[in-house]
Structure 1
Amino acid sequence: MELRHLRYFVAVAEEGNVTRAAEKLGIGQPPLSQQILAFERELGVQLFHRTGHGVVATEAGRVLLVDAKRLLEDAQHAILNAQRAGRGETGHLNLGFTASAAFHPTVRSLIRAYRGAYPGVGLTLSEGSTAQLLAMLEEGRMDLAFLRPGRHSFAGMTLHEVAEEALKAVLPRHHPLAKRRRIPLSGLSEESFVLIPREASPMLHDEIVGACRQAGFEPLAGQQAPQLSSVVSLVAAGFGVSLVPASVSQFHAEGVAYVEIQDANARSKLALASRLADGSAKVSNFLAIARQQWGEPAAPHTTPI
């Protein structure tokens, strides 16, 4: 039994006339009559009583009509679902981010825009280090990830530049420089720095150390912290000072002050990574919205930026 047989049967049953059903279906009346007869032989039951004015469904035909309509509706529903999935309107998107990326307003804005445009797509957000996110991307457990690019291997990945933002000093509230609006980075040369370990966030670690070196000093390594919120908390507790991406200053904590850095080299990059070979519609849709949000970005990179 084929779906076309069900469509022919339903049309004849609803019209009560083979000629009118044929016109509705856009086929000839003799071929339709032959198809109905062949369908009856296949099922082994009579579906219609023939009358002088048309046809009337038999008991078997009336029972079949209910199920036939349901089957045709289910088939149409399945087709529409497949088409929506093919357009990236359904399914699931796994999105990763580093702790520092979560604070950036562009990231939040993009996630809101995507959810608004594709409400039928489930979104799972996962936090991790750049190394962890890249491993999950490579294994197919992650679709996209916001990260600080660094010197990792990005073989098989595409990096889309999201933003470059200034670094800010985070100081204990009682620090002599805490009430200043802007300070030279060299003013922290004698301070102990609370830093995220390089293995946890190579790019951010290197950007902080590199900015200090550009300012003429090597930062004094003090207490280490596993993530940026911990960095801020340890600074508040008096363990030292640190540098964080400017967007992190939205994280308000008792006992700390965020101060702008005068040095032009004190900056941090943020990127969106995807698999180079991933042509899925849901990823393409996310990237398309990203381009709308940010304007056309620079050409994607396939090497570290």
Structure 2
Amino acid sequence: MKVATELHFGRAAEQLGISQPPLSQQIRLLEQELGVQLFERSSRKVRLTVAGRLFLDEAQATLAQADHAIRITRRAAGGEIGELTIGLAASALFVPLVSHAISAFRSSHPDVHLVFTELSMPAQRERVAAGSLDIGFVRSGNIPFLPSTVMAEHLVTDRMFVAMNKKHRLAAEDGPIAVSALAGEPLIHYPYEREGFMDDLHRLFSNAGIRPALALESTEMSTLLGLVAAGLGISVLPGSLLRLEVDTLCYREIGDDDALSSMWLLRRGALTNPAACAFMDLLGLT
């Protein structure tokens, strides 16, 4: 490369820190190996042949590609590029710790492709264990039941609130409300399996000695709140969802001591995706 760019064996040898004869010998050996003449030599100057010029162009492109491959590999190892798959409970993005971490990760790792999927706890547990999901956010009052290959990291604990239309009889008062006051009220709920938040809900009502009057279910949080706002029933929600403000809705905290629900992060015991490790750093879970 140096001889091709300098077109002078002496200067090229000097820049390479070797004497001229070994350099000339290396060029001759290369020409013999290729079976072509790369340089036209005379007592006055050195010129590239047509084959030499093409060889130089291809060699420079190959070296540039090799440098690019090295940079890409190092960035991938540092979690700067690649893909990060994240499972979400319905309320996960309304937890400030989670939303702030996602925003910070997008700013610091703009070349990582983020894939979000809303999934129930059983589905997240299965996919994290199988490796098709890097991390998952699930809601449960207690530590989730998990296989030995999956770990749960506690993030935050929320109080539970009851959402109702502002004209509902229970909206006339302020302050905490006992879950026993919800007996017989038609309950609009998210249709997750009886695990995670639904398990928290049944436990809460059972401890109060009543059964929830499950009335309607909705797969969309906006629809659920719309049904409550329309007066078709009440809903019990984690406090993080109070950020979803609707003019005709009223929220009251449930005062029972066990009216709690936590957000957990699920991950495999040994993370292999550097991007997932970088995301965990932002959550302070390293």
Moved more, 24-33 or 131-140: 24-33
Which residue, 159, 172, 180 being the options, matches 2:165? 172
Contact between 1:88 and 1:280, CA under 8 Å: does it hold in 2?
Answer: yes
Q: Provide the alpha-carbon RMSD of the alignment.
A: 2.4
| 1:97 paired residue number | 88
Which residue, 200, 203, 212 being the options, matches 1:207? 200
Please state how far the C-alpha of 1:278 moved relative to its aligned partner.
2.4
How many residue pairs match? The answer is 282
Contact between 2:183 and 2:213, CA under 8 Å: does it hold in 1?
Answer: no
Contact between 2:97 and 2:283, CA under 8 Å: does it hold in 1?
Answer: no
Q: Deviations over 1:28-87 (max 9, x none)?
A: 544332221111011111111234466332232223222222221112112211221121
Please state how far the C-alpha of 1:190 moved relative to its aligned partner.
4.6
Aligned residue runs from structure 1 range 83-94, under 5 A = 83-94=74-85
Aligned residue runs from structure 1 range 126-275, under 5 A = 126-149=117-140, 151-185=144-178, 186-197=180-191, 199=193, 202-214=195-207, 216-227=208-219, 229=221, 230-253=223-246, 255-275=248-268
Note closer, same or farther for the CA distance 1:23–1:81 as it changes in structure 2 (3 Å cut): farther
Q: 1-side partners of 2:260 and 2:25: how far apart?
A: 77
Note closer, same or farther for the CA distance 1:27–1:288 as it changes in structure 2 (3 Å cut): farther
Which residue, 88, 107, 111 being the options, matches 1:116? 107
Q: Tell me, what secondary structure is at the counterpart of 1:202?
A: coil
Q: Tell me, what secondary structure is at the counterpart of 1:123?
A: strand
Q: 2-side partners of 1:38 and 1:246: how far apart?
A: 76
For structure 2, the residue ranges without an aligned partner over 5 or more in a row are: none
Q: Deviations over 1:232-270 (max 9, x none)?
A: 333334343231001112223454211123334211100
Note closer, same or farther for the CA distance 1:28–1:173 as it changes in structure 2 (3 Å cut): farther
Note closer, same or farther for the CA distance 1:42–1:256 as it changes in structure 2 (3 Å cut): same
- Same amino acid, percent of matched pairs: 33
| 1:303 paired residue number | none
Which residue, 66, 69, 73 being the options, matches 1:78? 69
Q: 1-side partners of 2:165 and 2:122: how far apart?
A: 30
Contact between 1:169 and 1:261, CA under 8 Å: does it hold in 2?
Answer: yes
Please state how far the C-alpha of 1:285 moved relative to its aligned partner.
0.8
Note closer, same or farther for the CA distance 1:54–1:158 as it changes in structure 2 (3 Å cut): farther
Please state how far the C-alpha of 1:113 moved relative to its aligned partner.
0.6
Q: Tell me, what secondary structure is at the counterpart of 1:75?
A: helix
